[in-house]
Amino acid sequence: MTGTLVLVATPIGNLGDLSPRAVAELSGAALICCEDTRRTGKLLIHAGIRGVRMKRLDDHTERAGIAVVLDKLAAGQRVALVSDAGTPAISDPGERLVAAVVEAGYTVTTVPGPSAVVAALVASGLPTSRFVYEGFLARKGGDRMAALAQISQQSATSVMYESPNRLAATLRDLAAVCGGDRQAVVARELTKLHEEFVRGSLDELATWADGGVKGEIVLVIAGATPPAEADDETIVAAIQALMEAGMSRRDAIAKIASDLGVRRGRVYDLALTISGGVTPPS
């Protein structure tokens, strides 16, 4: 028999989001690995599941727990992994366990379901075709500044978690690097009684958050707007300026295409409008 590790998504707030398949997998598991046995125990009672052994597997115990899980899998048993809420191994314990199970050659599968990241993104109203998950930003230092700088430049939508106590400061930092008019959404208490989506510019949201915020927070930030492509007059003027400075037409075309981020063929066509023509670029 081949043992299997099953990653089971659990509700992020509304217990009605626990799927029938999740209940079946948790009921049939030889072992359930979880962050908090008390919290998961309450979920199991809600689902009518009794008699399944649980093992604590959090940031402090994950390494030690790997051996226990591998022993179960070696015996051909099925082990379930859950987090306190949502999909395990996303800013929660489980990443190292999954890697170890894969390396050992056992099967890993998943019961998909609730995810605060996806829920906030799809309901934000911001572009969803490309997004970057940032987790929790570093609280200070070079790592934080590097992450903020990257967010300010990337064109994809950014999604991150943040503590309600640090939300206002993070929004102000983002406004400083991205511009205060960058659009964003604060998703609060997703699927819970006081669920709220607050939309606006980073400046507006920072002012709102200064009044105090409670609950679980997901922050969604619009990507950077691509710079407008240079117009024909700008390109022609640049060609002439470089040639007057002594650069060959061929080199001027290549440099302008690179510097302005425009197609080389377009620069070449515009260069033909300058008296004397040009030699086709290689």
Task: Give yes or no for residue 279 having a pLDDT over 60.
Answer: no
Per-residue pLDDT reduced to its tens digit, 148-200: 999 999 999 999 999 999 999 999 999 999 999 999 999 999 999 999 999 99
Considering the chain, what is the average pLDDT of its residues?
93
Longest distance between any two alpha carbons in the chain, whole Å: 88
The whole-number pLDDT of residue 33 equals 97
Task: Give yes or no for residue 278 having a pLDDT over 80.
Answer: no
The whole-number pLDDT of residue 104 equals 96
Mean pLDDT for the stretch of residues 209-226:
94
Per-residue pLDDT reduced to its tens digit, 84-142: 999 999 988 899 999 999 999 999 999 999 999 999 999 999 999 999 999 999 998 99
Residue among 34, 18, 12 at smallest CA distance from 117: 12
pLDDT band, residue 227 (cuts 50/70/90): confident
The whole-number pLDDT of residue 78 equals 97
> What is the topology classification, in CATH, of domain 4-114?
Cobalt-precorrin-4 Transmethylase; domain 1 (3.40.1010)
The whole-number pLDDT of residue 276 equals 54
Mean pLDDT for the stretch of residues 58-74:
92
The whole-number pLDDT of residue 203 equals 98
Task: Give yes or no for residue 280 having a pLDDT over 80.
Answer: no
Task: Give yes or no for residue 277 having a pLDDT over 80.
Answer: no
How many CB atoms are closer than 10 A to CB 146? 11
Higher pLDDT, 160 or 257: 160
The whole-number pLDDT of residue 168 equals 97
CATH superfamily of the 117-221 domain: Tetrapyrrole methylase, C-terminal domain (3.30.950.10)
pLDDT band, residue 262 (cuts 50/70/90): confident
Per-residue pLDDT reduced to its tens digit, 205-214: 999 999 999 9
Region(s) of the chain under CATH 3.40.1010.10? 4-114
Region(s) of the chain under CATH 3.30.950.10? 117-221
> How much of the chain exceeds pLDDT 70, in percent?
97
18 vs 9: CA distance, rounded Å:
8
